A and B are shown apart, each in its own frame.
Chain A
């Protein structure tokens, strides 16, 4: 594995949750280890409740791991690392009372990029155009549909031109056009050499886009290597994934 440099390395991540003081804690992530190779697109598959979102939240330190180690280009998580990442959460609820334009300006500024005037407007327009929201530039986010919010969330993840994109179900809530748009954006970003990590239930999309695959089942990683060899004996990723799950369940 040392031939490929990894953008992110996750080692032996463990996390337990306790819903309340009275309940027993539940072991959600069990020694989760995987890599996200640089300049590649990595898919993250797993059933509902298998721990995808929890893993991603641990990577960002939104929730604190019980044990384990996460490295970004061999660095610990911190402001310097965050500047290089674009993130789309699972349910992008955004500040409702901002317009799309204000929303992007706000996030750009928090990313540490302080543009002004024409350069700022050009970047905003370019990004909104990319996600198909240019018409809605002056509209408040509260008037947006679910899919439009998803697009705004994606715009926010792209605008500061990050080196790594971490997207939690970027295709959910989108119409076929929207899904196509996201796929095009991901392909384009990959061409630019951006490292992409995204979770999805849509194995068809994943098959089209990914080089690398991380599969999780019941909080345990069941696969972490390239996609081609994963589905070598199967006609589709769907079937390969099913068979792998069955194998693990035994």
Chain B
């Protein structure tokens, strides 16, 4: 446990010092402020647009960080052989990869927390505060599923491919409904069958898509909150088990 913690903190420190994230971070903040400037509208419209914009920009900032850093993280460790030093120490490969995962998860959490706090400051609506953090958690867990997926993929394939795959997977998992609708229209049995398989093996993001203004006013009840949380955590655990297994067997040449 201690090794995972040490690696996670060092990873976080590395990531924060890499300028890229500072840039993305300010970009997101900038977006928020632009949206404020744009919203020269009635208070209701203003809140609605601002909330929608900031919740989406939160999700895309986090998704961007997860996709880019996640798919390159393990690859870079292997390619540049930085992991050799760590793996020569009395730590297991499992601890190594989990430490890396936790470090990046911490960065994502900090980013999302900061953006949520900022959003609340701009909205100035005490009723929304609790709900906004629930939505943040929803976004966070979704992004962690994608992060775990690209971690798993990057053990086996090139980072660009795992990045693209991760992104398509995210889109697909959000749009299963619409994909289903389109595919049913084609009346192609093969396509329908493929879709059925894909649907059952994909995380059902669209069922838990809380990223919109409606949820700020009316939070999902406790029940669906618990279901959402456990559902995504199970996915993360499931994907990481395979990532660890893959990494355990990989030659670091």
B-binding residues in A (CB < 8 A): 17, 57, 60, 62-64, 79-80, 82-83, 85, 87, 89-98, 102, 106-107, 109-112, 114, 140, 153, 156
B6 engages A79 (CB within 8 Å):
no
Contacts of A80 in B (CB 8 A): 90
B13 engages A82 (CB within 8 Å):
no
Shortest Cβ gap from B69 to chain A (Å): 13
B221-238 near A? 1/0 per residue, CB < 8 Å: 000000000000000000
Contacts of B251 in A (CB 8 A): 62-64
B10 engages A98 (CB within 8 Å):
yes
Stretch among B59-67, B76-84, B204-212 lining the A interface: B76-84
A57 engages B82 (CB within 8 Å):
no
User: A95-B14, A110-B91 given as contacts; is B252 within 8 A of A57 (CB)?
Assistant: yes
Interface residues of B toward A: which range?
20 to 34
Shortest Cβ gap from B190 to chain A (Å): 27
User: A62-B251, A111-B89 given as contacts; is B18 within 8 A of A93 (CB)?
Assistant: no
A30, B14: Cα distance in complex, Å: 40
Main secondary structure of the interface of B (DSSP, over half): helix
User: A93-B80, A98-B14, A109-B6 given as contacts; is B85 within 8 A of A60 (CB)?
Assistant: no
Contact pick for A110, options B6, B81, B82, B252, CB 8 Å: B6
Can you list 26 A-B contacts (CB < 8 A)? A57-B84, A57-B253, A60-B84, A63-B251, A64-B251, A79-B90, A79-B92, A82-B90, A83-B90, A87-B85, A87-B88, A94-B85, A95-B10, A97-B13, A97-B17, A97-B18, A98-B14, A107-B85, A107-B89, A110-B3, A110-B89, A110-B91, A111-B89, A112-B90, A153-B85, A156-B85
A106, B17: Cα distance in complex, Å: 16
User: A109-B6, A111-B90 given as contacts; is B82 within 8 A of A97 (CB)?
Assistant: no
A161, B146: Cα distance in complex, Å: 41
A64 engages B90 (CB within 8 Å):
no
Shortest Cβ gap from A74 to chain B (Å): 18
A87, B86: Cα distance in complex, Å: 10
Shortest Cβ gap from B166 to chain A (Å): 23
User: A17-B253, A106-B6, A109-B6 given as contacts; is B14 within 8 A of A60 (CB)?
Assistant: no
A80, B81: Cα distance in complex, Å: 23
CB closest residue in chain B, given A61: B87
Shortest Cβ gap from B141 to chain A (Å): 28
A80, B89: Cα distance in complex, Å: 10
Contacts of A87 in B (CB 8 A): 84-85, 88
A87, B91: Cα distance in complex, Å: 14
Contacts of A110 in B (CB 8 A): 3, 6-7, 86, 89-91
Q: Is B249 an interface position by the 8 A CB rule?
A: yes
